[in-house]
Amino acid sequence: MRLGWWWILLGMVLTQPVVAQESGIARVDRILPVVAAQQSDQSAGLFSEREFHARGPGTGGDDLAPVAGPHVLGNGEWRLQPAGGLESPLLVVYHPYSARVTVLARAGGTPVSHRLFDPDLDPRYSRHALVFPLQGDDPVYVKVEDARYPLHVRVEPRAEHAASDLHHTRLLMMAMGVALGVSLTVLLFWLMLRERVYLLYAGAMLAQMMYVLCSYGEAYALPGVRVLWHFGATGIWYIATLATMLTTTLMIEYADLRRQTPRLARWLRWTGIRLPAVALLFLLLPWPARKEWFPDIGNVLFLLTHALSVLSLALAWRKGSRHAAYFLAAWVPLMVFGTWRAVQISLGMPVEDWLDYGYPFVLGYASVVMALGLADRMLTFRRERDTAKEHAERDALTGVLNRGGIEYRLDWAILERRREHIPLSLLFIDLDVFKQINDRHGHAFGDHCLRAVTRVISEEFQYGDQLGRLGGEEFVLVLTGVDGVAATALAERVRLKIERRCARVDEVEVGLTVSIGVAECNAEDTVASLIKRADEAMYRAKRAGGNQVVVEDAAAAATAPMPTRWIADTDA
């Protein structure tokens, strides 16, 4: 609930109305019609693209009233009259995408032509917009070619634009820094763990981040990736499609959709991976020469993939998949922000700052949430691994360690004894007359007797992780930090407790007792030799009549003395 309130507050902040500012332009006139050939082939980008013309107040004729917000221009040639009174004015063209904009700032001057992808743009400004210095308040002539989206233009003072441009760069780089840092961290995890999902995560996030940087223009100013300017808008299409393919692959594996929603997962693989891969292949091939078909097909696949993704993740979440819930929480805001921003740009609507900057910040948020989901996924696998390991090391009947488990613990205890020089002792415990109990009362009752003995040892003395069953009615108890004398006293205490508390099992009088052999570890002992010595001591107790404790050491093994009956304190 607390997280829900935070989302409500965030939504209230983000949806505040944006105060429109003056565009700095008093009048816009179209001075040449758009070439008919340009009208026929404009179809590219995220949504269906078409010809755009300036409309509304201030677009020509006798209407000289300035309008709030940027003017909208389409392909063609335009005459702009700055409002005047601005210090060091700049003509700023926002969201130029693939358009080529040519500006003649004064009569007799030299036209200046720029595209978003040009490598030699003025480095003082970001690629968020194309910037053209103006000469006073003279009319400005603008030629727009290959515009796939409406172009928003403003005339701004240099100082005002520099401040807003710096603010834009700081916000964008902050958001990209979060996504980059988390992605590289997960990539390091992949280098160490070699888990495929970590590589998919890093690849998907880096591709999404590269798409954001290309669509905002900053990729074409960064060392190492500025070579992408050669590919123009085609490069953005390629990166966007590759990001979708990697994200879909990550989603299917991350949320285990093959198992949770198998039918929808198959559709997702077609719409989000296989068909986009075929489209990319044709985009790279020289045939067909015209590539205007690609965005339309890409748009359909893009929207279908999003719809199937949300449906698959929601169904998997309802089935109890925590990983699907993580991905849903991360992916839906990113999808909403990205689609909303693309719709506003394609329809010629001014993009509010909270949406323009919210998109990269939501990408940073998504990278963090999915990284947390990866951590949760790792913890889940660790718990499953530990559970499986514990089941593999535990005796199914009594719940104590089995032979492999107790030998592993004893091996570590011997190594610790050698390293830390602390004492170590071993008790070998065998149930007396257990065969007769099985023959008289049945094996099921014998199992009850075994569990009764392990309860006395484990519950009373808290040695649950040091007690192991070697097989049948034989148990060993590893006593770290206990020398032979203390181990012998403890063994006698165990013998007396079993004799007293296991005289009756399940209301049946059985008089259950145990014989115990005690061996203290020496410098030469191994797991096998220490168990053997304790076993030999136990058999000496058996031969002496049972229900006894016998100590075994090197000297005792050589001289084979008679077993000693230890008398311990009564139960506390």
pLDDT in tens, 380-400: 878 877 777 777 788 888 888
Mean pLDDT of 93-100: 88
Alpha helices in 28-97 (DSSP H): 36-40
Tell me the C-alpha to C-alpha distance, in Å, between residue 217 and each of 76, 211, 213, 469. 23, 10, 6, 68
288 upstream amide cis, omega within 30 of 0: yes
- 421, exposed or middle or buried, with CB in 10 Å at 0-12, 13-18, 19+? exposed
Mean pLDDT of 327-337: 91
Kindly compute the dihedral angle of the four CA atoms of residues 80, 81, 86, 89, in this order, to the nearest 10 degrees: 30
List Cβ neighbours of 344 (8 Å cut-off, separation of 6 or more). Answer: 350, 351, 355
In the numeric block, the tokens 């699907």 are attached to: 324
Q: With 80 as the cut, is the pLDDT of residue 503 above it?
A: yes
Find, among 530, 568, 545, 563, the residue nearest to 415 by Cα.
530
What pLDDT is attached to residue 391? 72
Mean pLDDT of 258-266: 94
Q: With 80 as the cut, is the pLDDT of residue 570 above it?
A: no
Q: Are 437 and 504 in contact (CB under 8 A)?
A: no
- pLDDT, the chain, mean: 83
Q: What is the pLDDT of residues 459-469, one digit of tens each?
A: 766 655 789 99
Which range among 58-67, 260-269, 420-429, 450-459 shows the weakest confidence by mean pLDDT?
58-67
Tokens of 329: 């929480």
Find, among 566, 489, 496, 487, the residue nearest to 534 by Cα.
487
What pLDDT is attached to residue 341? 83
pLDDT above 70 covers what percent of the chain?
84
pLDDT-based confidence at residue 287 (cuts at 50, 70, 90): confident
* Stretch (H or E) spanning 520: strand 514-520
In the numeric block, the tokens 């989603």 are attached to: 251
* Stretch (H or E) spanning 550: strand 549-552
Q: Are 401 and 465 in contact (CB under 8 A)?
A: yes
Which range among 63-67, 118-122, 161-165 shows the weakest confidence by mean pLDDT?
63-67
Q: With 70 as the cut, is the pLDDT of residue 104 above it?
A: yes
Q: Would you list the DSSP string of 380-400?
A: HHHHHHHHHHHHHHB-TTTSS
List Cβ neighbours of 282 (8 Å cut-off, separation of 6 or more). Answer: 288, 294
CA–CA dist 99, 73 (Å, integer): 11
pLDDT: which is higher, 107 or 528: 528
